[in-house]
Amino acid sequence: MASPEIEALTSALARLPGFGPRSARRAVLHLVKKREAALAPLRSALMAVEERLSTCSICGNVDTSDPCAICADPRRDARALCVVEDVSDLWALERSRLFPGRFHVLGGRLSALEGVRPDDLAIDSLIRRIDQGGIDEVVLAMNATLEGQTTAHYLAERLERFPIRLTQLAHGLPVGGELDYLDEGTLAQALRARRPVG
Ligand code: ZN
């Protein structure tokens, strides 16, 4: 039997995406064996995240400042807004360095299966941002999954009444493809070849 401390850390890790009980236990054993090399840096990284990171009140990005560095950057094109499902998608697009505008993070995708409804996503705040004016183009950068595309269709309907150019990523995206897993070239291509919705 492992100690209660080991059990507590193992079960905390096992709840993270990408971990199961086995891989969590292996990670914990590694941390115990490599206290200096692995445990100490992990502890300080976790503390820094807990103390300094917050969610941007404008776009939903995670950063050390609110508004985040992207929202606060006057060199970004305020007329172009890219809507993504999750912060990981925003970061993937930032790595491609191709989108000059700002972002809006929905915080998920519509899902009948998981009971995710429009009210559960940051859709009202998106509409408020567009309603304030000054935005010419909205890019719907949902994942090429069934739920991502359902979300894009729903948003397209909600945004129909605004005088904006509404585009979505070109579907050179592999079916079922999630932005976070795409190489930067493919993602950049999908963004460059974006097309009008509908
Ligand atoms: Zn922001």
pLDDT tens sequence across 89-130: 999 999 888 899 999 999 999 999 999 999 999 999 999 999
pTM listed for this prediction: 0.78
Instruction: Print the domain residue range for 110.
Output: 62-196
Please tell me the distance between residue 31's alpha carbon and the centre of ligand 1 in angstroms.
34
Q: Do 17 and 108 sit in the same domain of this protein? A: no
Cα separations in angstroms, 7 against 22, 28, 68, 147, 181: 12, 9, 37, 36, 32
Residue 57 lies in a domain: no
Q: Count structural domains, the chain.
A: 2
Q: Do 131 and 39 sit in the same domain of this protein? A: no
Please tell me the distance between residue 103's alpha carbon and the centre of ligand 1 in angstroms.
7
Please tell me the distance between residue 53's alpha carbon and the centre of ligand 1 in angstroms.
12
CB under 5 Å of ion ligand 1: residues? 56, 58-59, 61, 67-68, 71
By C-alpha distance, which of 122, 195, 117, 181 is closest to 150?
Answer: 117
Q: Do 188 and 104 sit in the same domain of this protein? A: yes
Q: Do 129 and 167 sit in the same domain of this protein? A: yes
pLDDT tens sequence across 151-197: 999 999 999 999 999 998 876 556 566 777 777 777 777 788 788 88
